[in-house]
Structure formats: structure tokens, C-alpha cells
Amino acid sequence: QKEVEQNSGPLSVPEGAIASLNCTYSDRGSQSFFWYRQYSGKSPELIMFIYSNGDKEDGRFTAQLNKASQYVSLLIRDSQPSDSATYLCAVSPDDKIIFGKGTRLHILP
Amino acid sequence: GAVVSQHPSRVICKSGTSVKIECRSLDFQATTMFWYRQFPKQSLMLMATSNEGSKATYEQGVEKDKFLINHASLTLSTLTVTSAHPEDSSFYICSYRVLGTEAFFGQGTRLTVV
């Protein structure tokens, strides 16, 4: 069974600090990896996607992928209160996208 | 990015009735739509894959006679929850994925069955 595992949190991080979110997946055939942010009662919105091993940076966000370890992470620099949300890790082994349960992030003012 | 319009955003219905949720792609032709369900503090669970002009493919454990999916055109897919019960209360989200890239989501429908 294809699974995506995340720590549910909540993860509390002081404003201005770095938030680190982690995710592991079971299907070695997965090719595409995504981080979505979801506010309560809203649909997910894409933060980052990554396909290759290594780091990918976009503004305050950095996604890291290690296919050998089946591990994906998301770093959020200079955390802001507006970053408080649930972050969903998602993996795509084929045309479907499989989501983790999400990590609740709380940025402390 | 692609725009997916889903409605209604919220619906309350009586137990035993049916509810239809519509999902429209506004600026592209969606050959494949995905329907997800999300219970509180849970992940998005894929219910079914809807292909234009053909029968939907349901994930294991999802009752196809209860969750009727119709994808009659390239811009409209519908999910009908038949004979709804309180345990069907959930957040239903449609999604379209551009091949090999990210998924675009509708706004979601909060269904409450009383």
C-alpha cells in the first residue's frame, strides 16, 4: 500500500525562526513530490514541487528530496504568523497524487 | 494556474436525501478529474478518478453506488452522494492534474448530513 507519513504536530515555531517539516513515503517508484498548505476549511494550495534529488528554493521556502532515503522535507525561513496552517506532503507514483495526513504548524508571535 | 470552480461550498441535507456537487474547469479541458474526501484532521483521501466520457474508477472501499460520478463533458464533473447519512458528512474536493505537474483544486464542499 502506498503511504505518505508525516508527524501530525502541532509544531510550534517562534516568529522569524526556521520551520522544518518532514515526510517519508513508501513507493520507491514515486517521481513527483509536492508540498501543499491548507488553511482550516479551505482547499490545499501548492507551495512547492520537486522532482530531483537535492534542494529547491523558492523565496522563503526550500524543499529537499532524498529518493534513496525516501524522504522529503520543507524548510520555511523567517516564519510568519500567516504561515500557521497544515502542511500536506504529497507524492505521485503515477497519475494520482497521494497525500499525507499533514503537519499542523503554529507560528508563535 | 488552472481554475477549478466547485459548488456548492456548503450544503446541509437531511439523512436519506441526495446531494450533487459540481466541479467545473474554467480555463482548460479536464480529461481527468479526481475526487477527494477529507474528514476533520485527516488527510485527503482519493475517492475516485473521473474520466470524460467513461465510467469513473473508484478506490478500494469507496461505494460506487453511493457516490455517483459523472464526467459528461471536458469542463464538468459531478459527484452525487446518494441516500446521505451523517457519516458521509465531510469535506469533498475535486481536483484536476496537469500531466506530470501539480494538482489544481476546487474550493471544496462542506457537506453536513443531519
Tell me how far apart the alpha carbons of residues B30 and B52 are, in angstroms, rounded to a whole number.
8
Q: What is the per-residue pLDDT across B27-63, written as a single tens digit (0 to 9) for each?
A: 777 778 899 999 988 889 999 998 877 889 999 999 9
Nearest CA in chain A to B57: A96
Query: Which grid coordinates belong to B106?
Result: 476546487
Nearest CA in chain A to B4: A43
Write down the pLDDT at residue B51. 81
Q: Is A32's CB within 8 Å of B99's CB?
A: no
Write down the pLDDT at residue A7. 92
Is residue A108 scored above 70 in pLDDT? yes
Closest by Cβ to A42, choosing from B34, B49, B108: B108
Nearest of A97, A68, A43, A21 to residue B101 by alpha carbon: A97
